[in-house]
A = this chain, B = another copy of it.
Amino acid sequence: MEYQFSRRVLELKPSAIREIFKYAADPQVISLSAGNPAPEAFPVREIAEISAGILAQRPIDALQYGTTEGYTPLRGHLAAYLKETSGIGSDGDDLIITSGAQQIMDLFTKSVVDEEDTIVCEAPSFLGALNTYRSYRAKLRGVPMESDGISLEGLEQALKEEKRVKFIYTIPNFQNPTGATMSLAKRHGMYELAKKYGVMILEDNPYGDLRFQGEDLPAIKSFDTEGIVLYSGTFSKVVAPGIRVGYAVGPKPILQKMIVCKQGEDVHTNIWGQMLCDELMTKYDFGAHLARLREVYRKKSKVAVDAMNRWLLPKITYLPIEGGLFFWCTLPNGIDMLEFVKRAIDHKVCVVPGNAFLTDESKPCQSFRINYTTPTDENLVRGIQLLGEVASDMIP
C-alpha cells in the first residue's frame, strides 16, 4: 500500500539531534549531546520509599484512571508553592499537570495556533519545542539571542512585521541551547511588548531551580496582571525525566482548552509519577533536595569549565553560565562548524551543531552545544580534550 500522510508530517524532517543520537548510542563515542540531568542528582532513595508506601497503602489511587487536570493534591501543593516561592499564579489562573513540559508546548499550540499563524522564538532555541510548533504548521520567526537574553529591538520588529502572531516562546533561565539568562529589564520589556501587541508569552522554565551561581530573577509570570503568560514547569530536571510530570500555570480559559486537547491525547498523566512528586514536595525537605542538586551541578560545571579553559580556549570560546545543563561554544569565523562536528564524531565525541536550534536550520551558524551533566566527570574531561584535538587540527 502506498501510504498517504498528512501535510503536517510530510513537512517534518527527522531532528538533527536524533540523527546525532545514533552516533551517541555507540558506546565508543563520548556523548556531550544529550540534555539529560545528572543521574547522581535523582532522589533515588526517597522515590523508592515513597513508591513502596503508595503501593502498600493507596494502590488503587495510583493504578485507576485519574482526572485529566491532574492529581488534585499535587495541583494544590504546587500552586501554593509557586505562589509562595516565586509569586506565580493569580486568581484568574489555574494549574494543570501534563506528561512532561513537552506536552505543554503541544497542548498550547494545538489550542491557539492555526496553520500559518506565527510563533516568535528565540534564535537559537529548544529544538523539541520548535519541532512541536512545526508539527502544527506554524510559521516560526526567530529573534536573535544576546548574552542577556532575546534582543528586544528584534522582538519588537518581529511583532510589527509578522501578521497573526499567537505567542512569544522564551526560556528566560539558562536557555537551551545558549545557557544565557534574560536580564530583569528584558523580562519587563518582553512583557510590555507582549501587552502592547496583544500576544501571549509561553515562559518555559525547566532549569530555573538549577542555579548554582548568582541571584534568582523573577519569572515573567510573576508580573502578569493581564493574564497573558502561560508558565511551563517540570519535575524532569529536579526529580527525574523518566516519570514524565510537568505542569502549566495560566489563564483558566486557556487551560480549559488545553485540558480538552489532553483528554484526546493521553487522557491523563501517569498517576504514580504525580503521587511521587506530591510526596517529595510535602513529606520531604524539598528545599534541601534542591540545594543538594545545585551542589552537584556547581561541581560538575566547574569540571567542564576547567577542561574548556585548558583544551578549548582561545580557539573555541564559550558563554559563561550560572545554571542549567548546557554550554554554547563558538568557533572562529571561517571554520566550517558542521565539518568540525563530523570530525569530532570521528574522534569519538559527539556535540550538537548549533544550526539545529535555529528556526531556519539552513542558516549559517558557528556554534555548537555541549551538555556537561550526562557524562561521568572522566568522560566529560576526555570529551572536551578530544574536541580540543579537533580544534588543533582544523583551526590555525
Residues of A participating in the B interface, judged by any CB pair closer than 8 Å: 1, 3-9, 12, 14-15, 18, 34-37, 39, 42, 44, 47-48, 51-52, 55-56, 59-60, 62-66, 99-100, 102-103, 105-106, 110-114, 117, 128, 131-132, 135, 166, 198, 200, 226-228, 236, 240-244, 251, 253-254, 257, 260-261, 263-273
Contact = CB atoms under 8 A, between A and B. Distances in A.
Contact of A242 (B62, B102, B244): B62
Contact of A272 (B52, B60, B257, B272): B272
Nearest to A66: B242
Q: 7 nearest interchain CB pairs? A: A63-B240, A132-B264, A48-B55, A99-B266, A242-B271, A44-B59, A63-B242
A5 B132 contact: no
Nearest to A266: B99
A36 B51 CA distance: 23
A36 B9 contact: no
29 contacts: A1-B226, A4-B112, A5-B111, A5-B112, A5-B257, A6-B112, A6-B117, A7-B114, A8-B110, A9-B111, A12-B257, A18-B263, A34-B65, A35-B65, A39-B60, A42-B60, A44-B59, A48-B52, A62-B242, A65-B241, A103-B266, A110-B135, A131-B264, A132-B265, A135-B260, A242-B270, A242-B272, A265-B265, A272-B272
B264 A227 contact: no
A333 to B, nearest CB: 33
A309 B249 CA distance: 50
Contact of A99 (B7, B34, B99, B110): B99
A114 to B, nearest CB: 5
B241 A269 contact: no
A16 to B, nearest CB: 13
Contacts of A135: 110, 260-261, 264
A270 B270 contact: yes
A244 B47 CA distance: 19
Q: Copy number of this protein in the oligomer?
A: 2
B270 A243 contact: yes
B15 A263 contact: yes
Contact of A241 (B4, B63, B273): B63
B240 A268 contact: no
A253 B48 CA distance: 39
Contacts of A111: 5-6, 9
A228 B1 contact: yes
B36 A59 contact: no
A308 to B, nearest CB: 24
Given A5-B111, A270-B273, A264 B36 contact: no
B228 A265 contact: no
A12 B261 CA distance: 9
A198 to B, nearest CB: 7
A35 B15 CA distance: 38
Report which residue of A15, A200, A226, A272 has the largest number of chain B beta carbons within 10 angstroms of its beta carbon: A272
Nearest to A132: B264
Given A3-B253, A112-B4, A198-B1, A260 B12 contact: yes
Contacts of A261: 9, 135
A198 B3 CA distance: 9
A125 to B, nearest CB: 14
Nearest to A47: B55
A9 to B, nearest CB: 5
A266 B263 contact: no
